[in-house]
């Protein structure tokens, strides 16, 4: 889906843990004359279980296209000029209480909608639905807090969980825009089945490690025979508690033996992401992300150095509880044109992971630039104690910065998108 670093599908907001312990009165020679002590209230483990139901739908208007084809460079918002049901996200969770020496929690989260096409895990509901609307599990894990090594202890997660790097997540309520950045769409891992741990060394430093079957595969249906893993760190409470730095690397074979043969087990994919989050004021948040991606398996298949790199920057200003202005700028270089891909069928993304042939569209080697501006609206008249409503209109402009034509079926060097989504949370 933890400390400040966000799981990609985390796709829900943590509730506060309820814990109360009343201390009983002490006995004395005059106990009979004293009022009875208050009862001791033990924390009920089940009382801290939370549940969330969230709906998202939207539309992405592309003036250059009709209702056919794809918006190039997009995944969740790839369908042009049609209303789409992005997702119904259902979450059942019990957060851990890090103030205790030992505690156990869990996360169960499932998604159904058009976003499911781009968040599968081989061996877990994959190909259950093959149309535009697909169902996936995004989380099914146990979380254990233990008191080992330092006062902060170690948090360990076992099972199915979202990727550990990046700013934007599958859960739309945790990100500022409806559309995703090039980094989030193409340069980050989405889902894993494995084990990950965060060691809270001190209030400033967390050490992050993990091992898993691979990106969007399970151990019982891997696309190759080798594991992959994470290593990284997070720096907290910097610059008067305003700055957090998350730096994570991922490495291991990720390509399919069906596509590359047995050599797929020997050629690594490398993902590297660093994220700076600066809370400048109570109203202004600034984010800077840099990323480098390299796939030696694709290099083996094509003879080209398959890599992509770049970054994005965000600014969010909350005028009040109802209106937040968001701005995002991006630059990403795809050195071969093989990384930024348009998947032209509903199962194309899943087939690419499995190594099956499908219909894809790629541009020549391109340097992509994009800028997005939008607002997040939470009108008081629509929001109640039980129902939360968010409306997010945005305008996005993409362009090739090196003269190629990746957009509108490889016929144009730029693209305007006018998008809006609505999020309902219960």
- pLDDT greater than 80 at residue 246: yes
Per-residue model confidence (pLDDT) at position 302: 79
Question: How far apart, in whole angstroms, are the C-alpha atoms of residue 264 and residue 273?
Answer: 23
- Binning pLDDT at 50, 70 and 90, where does residue 400 land? very high
- Binning pLDDT at 50, 70 and 90, where does residue 43 land? low
Average pLDDT, the chain: 91
Find the angle CA(68)-CA(70)-CA(74) to the nearest 5 degrees. 155
Rounded average pLDDT over 261-274:
96
Q: What is the signed CA dihedral for 299, 302, 303, 305, rounded to 10 degrees?
A: -40
- List pLDDT tens digits, range 136-172: 999 999 999 999 999 999 999 999 999 999 999 999 9
Q: What percent of the chain has pLDDT over 70?
A: 90
Per-residue model confidence (pLDDT) at position 170: 96
- pLDDT greater than 90 at residue 1: no
User: Which two structure tokens, joined as six digits, stand for 314?
Assistant: 């965000």
- Binning pLDDT at 50, 70 and 90, where does residue 44 land? confident
Question: How far apart, in whole angstroms, are the C-alpha atoms of residue 394 and residue 320?
Answer: 19
- List pLDDT tens digits, range 213-242: 999 999 999 999 999 999 999 999 999 999
Q: Which residue has the higher pLDDT, 4 or 232?
A: 232
Rounded average pLDDT over 398-426:
97
Rounded average pLDDT over 25-34:
37
- pLDDT greater than 80 at residue 15: no
Contact call for residues 255 and 302 (beta carbons, < 8 A): no
- Binning pLDDT at 50, 70 and 90, where does residue 68 land? confident
- Binning pLDDT at 50, 70 and 90, where does residue 16 land? very low
Question: How far apart, in whole angstroms, are the C-alpha atoms of residue 165 and residue 271?
Answer: 9
Q: What is the 3-state secondary structure (H, E, C) of the chain?
A: CCCCCCCCCCCCCCCCCCCCCCCCCCCCCCHHHCCCCCCCCCCCHHHHCEEEEEEEEEEEECCCCCCCCCCCCCCCCCCCCCCEEEEEEEEEEECCCCCCCCEEEEEEEEEEEHHHHHCCEECEECCCCCCCCEEEEEEEEEEEEECCCCCCCEEEEEEEEECCCCCCCCCHHHCCCCCCCHHHHHCCCCEEEEEEEEEECCCCEEEEEEEECCCCEECCECCCCCCEEEEEEEEEEHHHHCEEEEEEEEEECCCCHHHHHHHHHCCCEEEEEEEEEEECCCCEEEEEEEEEEEEHHHHHHHCCCCEEEEEEEEEEEECCCCEEEEEEEEEEEECCCCCCEEECCCCHHHHHHHCCCCCEEECCCEEEEEEEEEEEECCCCCCCCCCEEEEEEEEEEEEECCCCCCHHHHCECEEEEEEEEEEEEC
Contact call for residues 25 and 376 (beta carbons, < 8 A): no
- pLDDT greater than 60 at residue 7: no
Contact call for residues 84 and 57 (beta carbons, < 8 A): yes
Q: In terms of Cα–Cα distance, which of 73, 21, 34, 78 is closest to 186? A: 73
Rounded average pLDDT over 386-409:
97
Question: How far apart, in whole angstroms, are the C-alpha atoms of residue 161 and residue 142?
Answer: 10
- List pLDDT tens digits, range 193-207: 999 999 999 999 999
Contact call for residues 186 and 308 (beta carbons, < 8 A): yes
- pLDDT greater than 50 at residue 368: yes
Beta-bridge mates of residue 222: none
Sign of CA dihedral 61, 63, 68, 70: negative
Per-residue model confidence (pLDDT) at position 2: 40
Q: In terms of Cα–Cα distance, which of 238, 309, 331, 305 is closest to 277? A: 238
Question: How far apart, in whole angstroms, are the C-alpha atoms of residue 120 and residue 116?
Answer: 7
Cβ neighbour number for residue 347 with a 10 Å cutoff: 19
- pLDDT greater than 50 at residue 93: yes
Question: How far apart, in whole angstroms, are the C-alpha atoms of residue 39 and residue 78?
Answer: 58
Domains of the chain, residue spans: 31-425
Q: What percent of the chain has pLDDT over 90?
A: 86
What length is written for the chain? 426
Question: How far apart, in whole angstroms, are the C-alpha atoms of residue 131 and residue 401?
Answer: 35
- pLDDT greater than 60 at residue 289: yes
Query: 31-425, what's its fold?
Result: Porin (2.40.160)
Per-residue model confidence (pLDDT) at position 337: 95
Rounded average pLDDT over 320-349:
97
Contact call for residues 194 and 213 (beta carbons, < 8 A): yes
- List pLDDT tens digits, range 208-218: 999 999 999 99
Q: Which residue has the higher pLDDT, 27 or 382?
A: 382
Q: Which residue has the higher pLDDT, 59 or 31?
A: 59
Per-residue model confidence (pLDDT) at position 97: 93
Per-residue model confidence (pLDDT) at position 27: 33
Q: In terms of Cα–Cα distance, which of 5, 35, 425 is closest to 208? A: 5
């Amino acid at each position: 889906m933890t400390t400040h670093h966000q799981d990609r599908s985390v796709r829900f907001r943590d509730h506060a843990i309820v814990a109360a312990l009343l201390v009983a009165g002490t006995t004395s020679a005059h106990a009979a004359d004293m009022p009875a002590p208050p009862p001791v209230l033990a924390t009920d483990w089940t009382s801290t279980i939370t549940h969330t139901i969230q709906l998202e739908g939207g539309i992405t208007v592309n003036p250059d296209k009709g209702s056919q084809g794809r918006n190039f460079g997009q995944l969740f918002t790839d369908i042009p000029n049609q209303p789409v049901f992005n997702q119904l996200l259902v979450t059942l969770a019990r957060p851990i209480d890090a103030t205790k020496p030992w505690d156990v929690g869990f996360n169960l989260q499932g998604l159904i909608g058009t976003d499911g096409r781009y968040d599968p895990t081989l061996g877990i509901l994959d190909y259950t639905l093959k149309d535009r609307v697909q169902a996936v599990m995004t989380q099914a894990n146990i979380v254990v807090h233990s008191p080992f090594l330092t006062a902060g202890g170690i948090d360990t997660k076992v099972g199915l969980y979202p990727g550990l790097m990046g700013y934007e997540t599958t859960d739309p309520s945790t990100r500022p825009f409806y559309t995703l950045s090039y980094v989030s769409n193409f340069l980050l891992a989405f889902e894993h089945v494995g084990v990950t741990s965060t060691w809270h060394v001190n209030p400033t430093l967390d050490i992050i490690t993990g091992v898993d079957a691979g990106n969007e595969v399970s151990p019982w249906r891997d696309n190759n025979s080798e594991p992959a893993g994470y290593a990284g760190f997070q720096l907290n409470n910097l610059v008067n508690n305003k700055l957090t730095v998350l730096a994570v690397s991922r490495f291991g074979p990720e390509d399919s033996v069906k596509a590359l043969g047995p050599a797929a087990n020997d050629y690594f994919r490398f993902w590297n992401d660093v994220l700076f989050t600066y809370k400048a004021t109570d109203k202004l948040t600034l984010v800077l992300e840099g990323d480098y991606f390299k796939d030696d398996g694709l290099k083996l298949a094509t003879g080209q150095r398959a890599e992509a790199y770049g970054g994005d920057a965000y600014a969010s200003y909350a005028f009040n509880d109802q209106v937040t202005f968001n701005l995002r700028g991006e630059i990403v270089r795809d050195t071969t044109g093989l990384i930024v891909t348009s998947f032209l069928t509903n199962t194309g993304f899943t087939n690419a992971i499995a190594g099956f042939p499908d219909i894809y569209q790629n541009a020549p080697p391109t340097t992509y630039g994009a800028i997005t501006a939008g607002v997040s609206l939470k009108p008081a008249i629509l929001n109640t104690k039980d129902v939360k409503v968010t409306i997010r209109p945005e305008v996005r402009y993409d362009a090739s910065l090196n003269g190629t034509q990746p957009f509108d079926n490889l016929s144009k060097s730029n693209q305007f998108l006018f998008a809006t989504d609505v999020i309902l949370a219960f």
